[in-house]
Structure 1
Amino acid sequence: YAATALAIIFTDLLTGVLIGFGLTMLKLVFKASRLKISLIDLPQDGEMELRLVGAATFLKVPALTQVLGSIPAGTTVHVPLNNLSYIDHSCLELLEEWGRANAAKGSKLLIESRGLKRRLEGRVRTNTGIGAAG
């Protein structure tokens, strides 16, 4: 906000607004492209956990594909979604497709479905505010 205000003060309104818009877009791209992917061996034999932290967007499909490709056949993979702020349909479909494709090799994919709808939509719905029932 400060950059926009300063740009408006030292240039003109249109330039300031455009600078603010550009900076906002950069911030959104930065947040949307941050995803930490870790594959962790669990104590149980033949089980791993795929930890995803951040926003799983289409920008991270290649990285996620590479990690999924490194999982040995016959492994049960747990995917908790509690550290994701957002997951888009392309990443979710990639996970589901990997589970279907590797089921014949004895692999199993267990996606934690708690909170999945909220993470797909990208925000928590509340019952307060304008237009709320009650």
Structure 2
Amino acid sequence: MADSNPSFVFVKRADYVREKLRQLEELRQSHANEKRWEIYDTKVESLLAQTFGATHSYIETYKYATLGEAEALVNMPEAGQEAPSQDLPQKAIQQRRQLLQAILGELEELEKVEEEALTGEDHEDPPSFT
């Protein structure tokens, strides 16, 4: 597929979500201030709108995740991997991560199907051979 059109660079949507997950970990480790989180969240919401459409449920769910309240909307374990006594900012970070990981899994599956469809053999005969 990479050799089919050298002027076309195929970038997978999942790569953008992977990058946002990487940035999330950087922000978490650097104990980023509220302004940096707002900028990050705006970019993630923009990416989700661009990828899935402005009215997709992922955008609303992400907004709830930024508040640490997304477990009611999607199947997220409240306790998760961290202690139940965690504070709200940590819970919000974990919910962002869980949602982005779920979105990443969905995109990887969709892209796998798309790639198989694009690279699969065409078994139809050309019109002149029928």
TM-score by length of 2: 0.31
Q: Which has the larger radius of gyration?
A: 1
Greater relative CO (CA pairs within 8 A, separation 6+): 2
Identify, as 1 or 2, the structure richer in strand.
1
TM-score by length of 1: 0.30
